[in-house]
Structure 1
Amino acid sequence: MRLKSQYIFVIGVVGVLALYFLVRAVAGGGHAPNRAAAKPAAAASAIPSVQVKLTPDEVREYDVVLRGRTQATRTVQVKSETSGVVAATPILQGTVAAKGTVLCRLAVDARQAALDQARASFKSMQLQQQANAELSRKGFRSPTQLVQGQANLDAAQAGVRAAEIALKQVDIRAPFTGVFDHRDAEVGSYLSPGQSCGTMIELSPLLVVGDVPETEASKLHVGATAAATLVDGHTLAGRVRYVAHDADPATRTYHLEITSPNPQLVVRSGLSADVRIAAGSGPAHLVPVSALVLDSAGRQGVRYVNDAERVAFAPVKILEETPGGVWVSGLSGPIRLIVVGQSYVADGQKVRVAMAR
């Protein structure tokens, strides 16, 4: 028996609908659990992962670091006290001269004759006063005449002293032990009182001078130990002898002076130096340079994970750079420092934590 075409159509429609619901049931039953499981997975993937390193605090000496230069303790122009022609220059410039060494000698001229005359006058006055004293005992000289004779004797003695000083002044001597660094007068030059023979500099002890930022000045005090590494490789050790209390209005820095022994005078004045000055001690953390970040305000610091598993930021100050990292202050106690992923998380953000290898 052959089916009519309308029955065939109905059977086809029913078959298609049955197939549709079958496929939907199979597909829907398989995907519902996957969607349910995907929600926690998506939520988990939204929490970023970071790697941390447990960083303890240590007590460490604080140093103030600055650039400085060596400087002579004293620089003096040695000047003539009298006038005359330079007759000799016994010391070459650049030579070490002990205190009292003759740097320039003026011509004696009539100074020796003036001294001889003053001595002769003094001798005459001595004899005259002796005679006055003898006559006074015999009643032939009044007390007034005796006093006048003593005054004349004292004046003659002062004349001898003045002539001796004038003669001594022809020798222009080093006022302290140091280097006769520059000569201003040569043989044949005429010097008036106040004109320079040359320049003496004192290099032992030696000064190391620099300018301290206003943020560091309060940490320093007179007597603090200091070390300087010079551009030529020499190292100096000394102590702070002066810290200014008034800042330079242009640079807002405070002048500082360190005194250091230089017995062999091998270190010259004017050399650049890297200076480290002890400024006490306190807690510090050693962190990798890569862990340093900037916050939204532009402050330099580090990010770490707190007890609530959230990111926190702490501003720090660099104390010292070493091959193993930088020592910083500003942190308290052991912290879980973020060393991987610190640039991709924000303050207060929840994170998943893994220990760095």
Structure 2
Amino acid sequence: MNKSLKPHVTLAVITATALLLAACGEEEADGADAATPTAAQDTRRIINVEVVTLQTQDFRDVIRLTGTVAADREVMVSAEAGGTVAEILVDKGTAVTTGQILVRLDDDLLEAQRNDARAQAKLAEELWTRIGKLFEEDGIGTESEYLQARYTAESATARYALMEERLQRTTIRAPFDGIFDTRLVEIGSVVAPGQAVGSVVDVDPLKVTAGVPERYAADVVVGAAAGVSFSDLDVTGTASVSYVGARVHSGNRTFPVELSLETPVAGAKPQMVADVTLQRRLISGAIVVPRQALVRTEDGYAAFVVESASAATAVARQVTQGPSANDRVVITAGLSAGDRIVVVGQHQVADGDLVRIVGE
């Protein structure tokens, strides 16, 4: 009887063991399935970032140029007559006024000729007066004698005036108020007619000259506001466009402009370099972002926008850039007012990453 029961006991034990193992397997599987979401959540990285919320604002689009300071007027003063320099009455660097004598040439010979011409003119005038009186009142003499005396007197007077003018040309004067900036002659120098003896510059006010690329031809007009800065002096000033050139330079494709400084700039001198910002236009309601918020991509540039649904997620958006100034860029497409964009940590995140906003 014991022999007949043995196979049945063994089969029961095997069946029970199999059921126990299956039950344990299901419990382990259920435990593994329950642990899976937790493990996935633990492996997703969360990156700390700082954000700014975009708002519309006005943006001044400017043209940046490098200009040169110039005197309002500058001329080379030349001798109208030839001769030897006899006197230099003004030292270089001295302020002068209109008509002030700068240099005088030796005029002894011309002065003697002028005096002779004056005497001849006076004599001829007296003879004409006497002959005219005798001819008109007493009928003495002929008309031809009277006319001859008249023409002689007029010729002598003209010669005297000519000699006086030549004598005046030996004196070289300042053409306007300014600074006698350079002197090119010394006492005893022989100068020819038209030879420069020095220069006079008018530095009150100063102006700035610059070349503007031709693509901005429609944007620059007389009266446009501008800013001027001098890095060597660490000062800035305001200016306005006073002249716009009518032609484009064929070499560098720029047209000239001149700007009048509206406020004096202490220490500024002609030929100094100045940084010029010309206001091109005012863009109202623009979306403006810090330049560092943009990340270069294969398709251009993108900004990371933090979207809050169930969790804060960084989403990459391709953007289209407009004009820029300093560290600010106008975005013409891709972003809207109210977007929160990453400005710190943008190079550590990828599209779809979870982020933690700090600094708010």
TM-score (norm 1): 0.79
Q: Return the alpha-carbon distance in structure 2 between the equivalents of residues 173 and 187 of structure 1.
A: 16
Moved more, 148-157 or 80-89: 148-157
Counterpart position of 2:341: 338
Distance 1:296 1:216, change over 3 A: farther
Q: How many residues are aligned here?
A: 346
Counterpart position of 1:232: 233
Counterpart position of 1:81: 80
Counterpart position of 2:274: 273
Distance 1:30 1:294, change over 3 A: closer
Residue 104 (structure 1) shift: 1.4
Distance 1:298 1:264, change over 3 A: closer
What is the RMSD of the two structures over their aligned residues, measured on CA atoms?
4.0
Q: Give runs of aligned pairs for residues 37-52 of structure 1, distance below 5 A.
A: none
Q: Give runs of aligned pairs for residues 247-258 of structure 1, distance below 5 A.
A: 247-258=248-259
Counterpart position of 2:118: 119
Helix, strand or coil: the match of 1:334?
Answer: coil
Q: Return the alpha-carbon distance in structure 2 between the equivalents of residues 3 and 245 of structure 1.
A: 124
Distance 1:242 1:354, change over 3 A: farther
Q: Give runs of aligned pairs for residues 276-291 of structure 1, distance below 5 A.
A: 276-283=277-284, 284-291=286-293
Amino acid paired to 1:292: L
Residue 58 (structure 1) shift: 1.8
Q: Return the alpha-carbon distance in structure 1 between the equivalents of residues 184 and 248 of structure 2.
A: 36
Distance 1:224 1:169, change over 3 A: same
Amino acid paired to 1:226: A
Counterpart position of 1:292: 294
CA-to-aligned-CA distance 1:241-269 (integer Å, 9 cap, x gap): 12334444443333321122688995311
Q: Return the alpha-carbon distance in structure 1 between the equivalents of residues 264 and 23 of structure 2.
A: 104
Residue 103 (structure 1) shift: 1.8
Distance 1:55 1:261, change over 3 A: closer
Residue 237 (structure 1) shift: 3.2
Q: Return the alpha-carbon distance in structure 1 between the equivalents of residues 30 and 299 of structure 2.
A: 53
Residue 222 (structure 1) shift: 0.9
Amino acid paired to 1:320: A
Helix, strand or coil: the match of 1:165?
Answer: helix
Contact persistence 1:205–1:260 (CA under 8 A): yes
Amino acid paired to 2:193: P
Counterpart position of 2:219: 219
Contact persistence 2:291–2:329 (CA under 8 A): no
Distance 1:298 1:194, change over 3 A: farther
Moved more, 222-231 or 7-16: 7-16
Moved more, 124-133 or 157-166: 124-133
Q: Give runs of aligned pairs for residues 143-222 of structure 1, distance below 5 A.
A: 143-222=143-222
Contact persistence 2:323–2:329 (CA under 8 A): yes
Q: Return the alpha-carbon distance in structure 2 between the equivalents of residues 297 and 113 of structure 1.
A: 88
Q: Give runs of aligned pairs for residues 128-139 of structure 1, distance below 5 A.
A: 128-137=127-136, 138-139=138-139
Distance 1:97 1:49, change over 3 A: closer
Amino acid paired to 2:212: V
State the identity as a percent.
Answer: 26
Moved more, 310-319 or 216-225: 310-319
Unaligned runs of 5+ in 2: none
CA-to-aligned-CA distance 1:251-303 (integer Å, 9 cap, x gap): 3333321122688995311222222333342224453343123353546x755
Amino acid paired to 1:103: L
CA-to-aligned-CA distance 1:35-56 (integer Å, 9 cap, x gap): 7x78xx88xx79x999753311
Q: Return the alpha-carbon distance in structure 1 between the equivalents of residues 14 and 264 of structure 2.
A: 115
Helix, strand or coil: the match of 1:82?
Answer: coil
Helix, strand or coil: the match of 1:316?
Answer: strand
Counterpart position of 2:325: 320
Amino acid paired to 1:173: R
CA-to-aligned-CA distance 1:31-76 (integer Å, 9 cap, x gap): 56667x78xx88xx79x99975331112344443333221123332
Contact persistence 2:72–2:202 (CA under 8 A): yes
Contact persistence 1:84–1:190 (CA under 8 A): yes
CA-to-aligned-CA distance 1:159-194 (integer Å, 9 cap, x gap): 111111111112111112222222110011111112
Counterpart position of 2:53: 54
Counterpart position of 1:69: 68
TM-score (norm 2): 0.78
